[in-house]
Structure 1
Amino acid sequence: METTTERSPALQGVAFGVSIVSFFALGWLGWGTGGHLPTAAQICLVVAAALLSVALAAVAWRRWFTTRTPPPVADTSRRMSGRTFGLIIGVEWIGLGVVSGVLGGTGHTDQIAAVICAGVGLHFIPLAKLFGVRAYYVTAAVMCLLAVLTFILAPSTPALWTMLPGIGSAVTLYATCVALLRWRPDQSRS
Structure 2
Amino acid sequence: MEREIRVSESVISRADIRGTASGVMFMAFFGTVWADVGIGGLQGLGSIWLLILAIFIGATLFFSGIALIRSSRNLDSTNTHGSKNINVNKWFNIVFATEFLLIIIAAIICNTVGHFDWFFPIMAIIVGVHFFPLAYLFQVKAYYFTGTLLCLLAIVTLLFVPLKSSLGQHQINTWWTLVGLGSMLILWITSLVILSVGRRLLRMARDQ
Question: Which category of TM-score, normalised to the shorter sequence, fits these structures?
Answer: 0.7 to 0.9
Residue 139 of structure 2 aligns with which residue?
132
Instruction: Report how far residue 65 of structure 1 moved.
Output: 2.5
Instruction: Look up the SS of the partner of 2:140 in the other structure.
Output: coil
Change (3 A) 1:121 1:6: closer
Instruction: Report how far residue 74 of structure 1 moved.
Output: 3.9
Deviations 1:109-139 (A, max 9, x none): 1111110010000001111111111111110
Which of 14, 20, 35 matches 2:20? Answer: 14
Residue 24 of structure 1 aligns with which residue?
30
Residue 126 of structure 2 aligns with which residue?
119
Once the two structures are superposed, the pairs formed by residues 1-190 of structure 1 within 5 Å of their partners are: 8-36=14-42, 38=44, 41-67=46-72, 68=75, 71-155=78-162, 157=164, 159-183=173-197
Amino acid aligned to 1:54: A
Structure 2: gaps spanning 5 or more residues: 1-10, 166-172
The number of equivalent residue pairs is 182
Question: Do the aligned residues in 1 keep the contact of 2:13 with 2:79 (CA within 8 Å)?
Answer: no
Question: Do the aligned residues in 1 keep the contact of 2:41 with 2:175 (CA within 8 Å)?
Answer: no
Cα RMSD (Å) of the superposition? 2.3
- Equivalents in 1 of 2:12, 2:160: separation in Å? 50
Provide the TM-score with structure 1 as the length reference: 0.85
- Equivalents in 1 of 2:40, 2:164: separation in Å? 16
Instruction: Report how far residue 37 of structure 1 moved.
Output: 5.4
Question: Do the aligned residues in 1 keep the contact of 2:163 with 2:175 (CA within 8 Å)?
Answer: no
Change (3 A) 1:16 1:74: closer
Question: Do the aligned residues in 2 keep the contact of 1:153 with 1:160 (CA within 8 Å)?
Answer: no
Change (3 A) 1:84 1:62: same
Question: Do the aligned residues in 2 keep the contact of 1:121 with 1:140 (CA within 8 Å)?
Answer: yes
Instruction: Report how far residue 142 of structure 1 moved.
Output: 0.5
- Equivalents in 1 of 2:162, 2:87: separation in Å? 43
Deviations 1:133-154 (A, max 9, x none): 1111110011001111111233
Question: Do the aligned residues in 2 keep the contact of 1:121 with 1:141 (CA within 8 Å)?
Answer: yes
